[in-house]
Amino acid sequence: MPSNFFPDLLPCCEPGSRGPGSPSRPVLSPSTFLVANSSVQAFVIYCFFVLLLVYLGGERSLLILLHGRPPKEPVFPVNLVKREIDVSDPYTFLFLKRGILRMLFPRC
């Protein structure tokens, strides 16, 4: 079937064509798709974090559950900067939550 059989449905098949009816329509660059993809992935991670909080009974219940536990040694790259992480501390928990939210804002 020739590409000009459906001229309005297949504007990307014609070389040099930007779309039906508007030659000044902006073309999305690949970096736009990468930013959108990373934003979707970060949103999925944040939703998973919120789902875990809901399963554990909410933030307050989790902090009460973690109260009294000794601080943990972080994994390799983080232990070069920070020695201990006390998740039962509300400020540390807020810092971790903000770190997850920070991934939602893409860097262009």
Q: Can you give the pLDDT at residue 8?
A: 47
Query: Cα–Cα distance between 103 and 93 in angstroms, integer?
Result: 16
Note the Cα 11 to chain centre separation in Å.
Answer: 32
In which region does residue 86 sit, left (phi positive, over 0), alpha (psi from -120 to 50) or beta (all else)? beta
Q: For 2, left (φ over 0), alpha (ψ -120 to 50), or beta? A: beta
| N-to-C CA span, the chain | 41
The predicted structure's pLDDT at residue 73: 83
Question: How confident is the chain (108 residues) per 10-residue block, as mean pLDDT?
Answer: 46 51 63 77 87 91 86 81 82 86 67
Task: Provide the residue ranges of all domains of the chain, joining segments of one domain with +.
Answer: 3-102
